[in-house]
Structure 1
Amino acid sequence: MTNASPETRIGPNEILRFFLEIFAFLSLGIWGFLAFEEWWLKFVAGLGAPLLAILVWALFRSPKAVFRIDAFGKAIIEIAVFTAAALAWWTLGQPIVAIVFAVVAAVSGVINGRRELAAG
């Protein structure tokens, strides 16, 4: 017998969402290191962009977020981070990666959003 409640159930979409988050953070780091010529800008953007995204995610969007916000606020944070990652790939000249990531993230986000809204 397990003590798993509906809130702690980990399904396929939750696993996908975890990988989307990791991919988004890594994408922002890759973008930061490749998008600039000057070494100091590469360093600042390559480390700063993913760290900022991780901080915002941890404060507002993660399951153990510091600040509790409603489902719509969480959706805005998620859209901002995932859009930034997709735009990073687009500006690096990888539109297929950007579009595939954006579509998968959007579908996963809609599924998760419906679940969050139904849970109340």
Structure 2
Amino acid sequence: MTNAPQSPVDWGEVPPPTEPAASRRPSRPVSAWTVLRVVVCAFGLLSLAYWGYLAWPFPFPGVLFMVGAPLFAAVVWFLFRSPRSPIDTDVVGKVIVEVALVIAGGAAWVSLGHPVVGLVFIVVAALSGVVAFRRETA
């Protein structure tokens, strides 16, 4: 692999090949906030799946909501909130999407009859969301 095509007149030494810029990623240390953020996101998706399992009759709508609710939430998060989202969204749009997804996960627990779990989830998700936004905009 060469960096650039060489003309027949340019008889200088060919530089060694380099890695493309897209394959090089700066390595960031994994912090406790990042781990908490991943746990909160996974718990939110599992909460929506659990809600779909318990709140709807099993054969037809139960499976649809058990798979569809977390899948819809993951796709919305990827499109509008993720660091590699294909749609460029400003800070306000990211906050709106994040709040809607957190409230959906908390509301799933409230509708199942566990309001304390829903409230704790919303508080922890809000805390990790605020820290994540502060780190992104710093």
1:2-17 equivalences under 5 Å are: 3-4=26-27, 8-17=28-37
Among candidates 57, 68, 71, match of residue 37 of structure 1? 57
2:70 equivalent in structure 1: 50
Among candidates 35, 38, 41, match of residue 18 of structure 1? 38
Give a deviation string over 1:5-33, Cα, whole Å, max 9, x none.
xxx44321111111111111111011011
- Structure 1, gaps ≥5 residues long: none
TM-score, scaled relative to structure 2: 0.75
Residues 1:80 and 2:100 aligned together? yes
CA shift, 1:55, in A, is 0.6
Amino acid in structure 2 at the alignment position of 1:40: F
Quote the Cα distance in structure 1 between the aligned partners of 2:83 and 2:30.
12
1:100 equivalent in structure 2: 120
- Structure 2, gaps ≥5 residues long: 1-25
1:114 equivalent in structure 2: 134
Amino acid in structure 1 at the alignment position of 2:108: A
Amino acid in structure 2 at the alignment position of 1:57: W
CA shift, 1:114, in A, is 2.0
Quote the Cα distance in structure 2 between the aligned partners of 1:65 and 1:15.
20
Amino acid in structure 2 at the alignment position of 1:56: V
Residues 1:62 and 2:82 aligned together? yes
CA shift, 1:39, in A, is 2.4
Aligned-residue identity in percent: 42
**Structure (1 or 2) with the larger CA radius of gyration:** 2
TM-score, scaled relative to structure 1: 0.86
**1:60–1:69 Cα contact (<8 Å) kept:** yes
Quote the Cα distance in structure 2 between the aligned partners of 1:17 and 1:23.
10
Count of aligned positions: 113
